[in-house]
Structure 1
Amino acid sequence: MQIGGYVAEASLAAARAEDPTAAVADYRAMVKALMAANRQLGWVGNNLNQLTWHLNKDGSWPQSDTVRRLLDGVEAAVEVVDTAVAQVVEGR
């Protein structure tokens, strides 16, 4: 999020709230949590790239059901973060 977008969203949150200070603090906490989640998903993506490299290097995918469950979990986490980001951007 660009600084201008953050300022605009925080200002709107403050204008809508009975307690503007708390609203801005809540908005800031949400943005910080989403940024942390995004950073952690980046680390997961890096680990998945390393895993894929090793699996492809050896030519076989042992325990493919385990790999599939891992990927399903990562996809679910990405969807949750995407939904949360959309809600913050929409001002919910």
Structure 2
Amino acid sequence: MKKLKNEAELLKKAILIGESYAVNRGYKNFDPTNSAKEKIESLYRLLVNDKLIHPLAIDNEDQPNMKHKLALWIAKQLPEGHALLK
């Protein structure tokens, strides 16, 4: 897995956009007490369920790989020339 440039910032953006997507899909808002790990796993599973991202292999389903998948997902959603893609 090759780390993306600005992967941490892309992940933050993915969580922000992913939360809005989840709410639009009928998911209740995340509680302020939800950890980032819980949000990442929930968003990853929602996006896999909706077939917006390909699932990881069962033996590779861990936090670093889920974070990377979410960062890749948002990088593909951003317009060309976006500051996070440079």
Looking at CA atoms only, which structure, 1 or 2, has the larger radius of gyration? 1
Q: Which structure carries more relative contact order (alpha carbon 8 Å, separation 6+)?
A: 2
Larger fraction in helix? 1
State whether TM-score is above 0.5: no
The TM-score with structure 1 as length reference comes to 0.29
